[in-house]
Amino acid sequence: MDKSQEIVKQDEKKIEKTREMYEATPAVDIYENENEILLHADMPGVVKEDISVDIDNGTLSITGVRKFETKGAATYEEFSDVEYVRSFSVPQTIDVEKVEAELKNGVLRLHLPKSEMAKPRHIEIKTA
């Protein structure tokens, strides 16, 4: 019996395995300007309904799940289900009520606006 037939026979004996959910850290870019902090998180394959963004006690948490539907028996797999997880400390100067999120082309964009108190101000000097 040659080696390829041997592998096929071994595979026929295996019990069907359940798919594992791997945890991954998404790549993130963070930018800051006078008005807001911008956060871009790379989460390919995740749909809007499977993303959660929470801010609690100065911690921003992002989670997203990418699930692949499979048809037929897999001969070889490199893609799998994955859960993206990332947390950050955010300053108390963020106006939590005005935070906005958008998902486009697998990139989650968060706009974290600064409260009016945190924005830089120019103070005019008066002469007497």
Domains of the chain and any CATH numbers: 19-116 (2.60.40.790)
Give buried/exposed letters for 67-98 (b at 16+ CB in 10 A, else e): eeeeeeeeeeeeeeebebebebebeeebeeee
pLDDT of 74 strictly over 70: yes
The mean pLDDT of the chain is: 83
Is this structure's pTM higher than 0.85? no
Which has the closest alpha carbon to 41: 99, 92, 103, 97? 103
